[in-house]
Chains A and B, each alone.
Chain A
Amino acid sequence: MALRATPVPDNAPNKITVKELDFFYGDFHALTDITVDIKEKAVTAFIGPSGCGKSTFLRCFNRMNDLIPGARAEGLVSLDGQDIFETGVDPVDLRRRIGMIFQQPNPFPMSIYDNVAFGPRLQGVSKKAELDEIVQHSLERANLWKEVKDILGRGGLTLSGGQQQRLCIARVLAVEPEVMLMDEPCSAIDPTSVQKIEDLMAELKDRITIIIVTHNMQQAARVSDFTAFFLQEVAGDPAILVEYDRTSNLFTSPKDRRTEDYITGRFG
């Protein structure tokens, strides 16, 4: 909390707008009727019991679900007012602008340097000096530079779990995304590293819109400005968005009884 800068003003522009989104895996209806506005340069947290579709929802934003055969979305998701499902929109370009961090730290089996340089290289940056600068800058922003500056040639997989996750963050930062999606980024790493990553999020949010999925309510309360609570009420039915509000409001005075039950630990 201490690290948080000034609160996000109410009139902050919407970065991502979602209207009446339904999502299906083949015959399985996973999400229904989701409507939400994600504020720019804020941290938004998605919470809810496991299996409630919050990760699925997150993956709609950069169309990672396209990679799953049979998955389809109905409704509107727009980035800066533009429909991302519109015919012809390049998911590859979308993903350059919306970076993603996964639950499992997933450095590529190559050197630390090559990991970070991967994105810029995809976009055609090939000058050594330019790459060096991007790599250093990105690692610095991910608070990893001091730890790895002498071992840039070493394999990314030789780092500790927490370092690996920060390497992945640096890798995403290297392509200068506008939005960073984080899918339970701290669930597979040790507590000290969790602290580092949470600090990092606070530093990053003055330039980047962050959406984090977490099963950890304390984490959501610590790092986010806004929180959305998802719930699948009956097994087999699609999940819904129960409540969405400023984090401070949602945790102190939830409007929905189901939210209250969840945050007070009555289920989930």
Chain B
Amino acid sequence: MSKRITNAIALGMLWIAALITVAVLGTVIGYVVINGIGELSPRFIFTWPEGVAAEGGVWPTIVSTLYVTALAMVIITPIAILAAVYLAEYAVQGRLVGTIRFAADSLASVPSIVMGLFGLALFVEAAGIGFSMLSAALALSFLMLPIVMRTTEEAIRAVPKYIRWGSYGLGATKWQTVSRIVLPAAMPRIITGIILSTGRAVGETAVVIYTMGQAINLPVSPLDSGRPMTVHLYLLAMEGINLPAAYGTALLLMILILGFNLGARFFLRRNRKV
């Protein structure tokens, strides 16, 4: 076969691979939107599920999802950012840093079901926090930690050296340089990383199923249990009696996550000055 034909066929295949990827995304989103759009109504969003087949709305599950996500974010953001500051600004390459990085990579790849079992064993049972927003948020924090850490470290490293020098040259201490120059300059990308990790937490199922409980409840205190949207969707889908509500929940979940993703992109584009 001539060189040019081989080339054309091979490039065609690559096009097809990319097209399949985009088409699958389109199909999944389209399918959820088409089936779910009819369900969406203020009533569906703002009322409680009722009766044995969860007729009615999904309000408590939305609240549970947002509650646990916000709580996890509050817990993990400071820790992850400071950890990234350590790695990017303070650490000297060596065994310690190697260990920390390996641990972070390992955390990032822990199967979520294992994280769920861990949360159950440590927070729910051993620590006695019970099925609660707090237990779920703590378990989710470990999931978000490596993501926020990595994006923050990259963001910090992307701040030009010159800017740092300027600050040191003026007699700023390390912490003054980090807190007044480096972190503010890296903030848009750090926030983007946080938003993306938040999206991950919103979509997580296996971690929260064993840490938050499954009871439908409107959480008020962090010690309250609840049922997040993902678990609600899972139960509705597997039960298979009230599929319309499952489509509606799936669409809401998708809107939330796409919202987080697009929000992060938009935010980054608007603030990318440095």
Which residues of A pack against B, CB within 8 Å?
62, 64, 67, 69, 92-97, 99-102, 104, 106-110, 118-119, 122-123, 155, 157, 168, 171-172, 175, 181
Contact = CB atoms under 8 A, between A and B. Distances in A.
A62 B184 contact: no
Given A69-B92, A108-B185, A99 B162 contact: no
A118 B170 contact: yes
Contacts of B167: 108, 118
B163 interface: yes
Contacts of A64: 165, 168-169
A106 B168 CA distance: 12
Q: From B170, B273, B274, name the one whose CB has the most chain A CB atoms within 10 angstroms.
A: B170
Given A69-B92, A106-B160, A108-B185, A122 B169 contact: no
B189 to A, nearest CB: 12
B172 A92 contact: yes
Contact of A106 (B92, B166, B184, B273): B166
Interface string B155-180: 00000101101111111110010001
A109 B185 contact: yes
A155 B273 CA distance: 10
B155 to A, nearest CB: 13
A69 B162 CA distance: 17
A108 B165 CA distance: 10
Interface residues of B, number: 20
Q: From A107, A108, A175, name the one whose CB has the most chain B CB atoms within 10 angstroms.
A: A108
Contacts of A155: 273
B273 A109 contact: yes
B255 to A, nearest CB: 33
Contacts, number: 70
Interface of B: 92, 160, 162-163, 165-173, 176, 180-181, 184-185, 273-274
15 contacts: A64-B165, A69-B92, A93-B171, A96-B171, A99-B170, A100-B169, A104-B160, A104-B162, A108-B181, A109-B185, A118-B172, A119-B171, A122-B172, A171-B170, A175-B171
A104 B173 CA distance: 21
Contacts of A69: 92
Given A122-B176, A157-B273, 7 more contacts: A100-B165, A101-B169, A104-B160, A106-B165, A122-B170, A157-B274, A171-B166
B184 A110 contact: yes
Contacts of B165: 64, 67, 100, 102, 106
A106 B163 contact: yes
A227 B203 CA distance: 66
A252 B180 CA distance: 48
B185 A118 contact: no
Given A102-B165, A122-B176, A175 B170 contact: yes
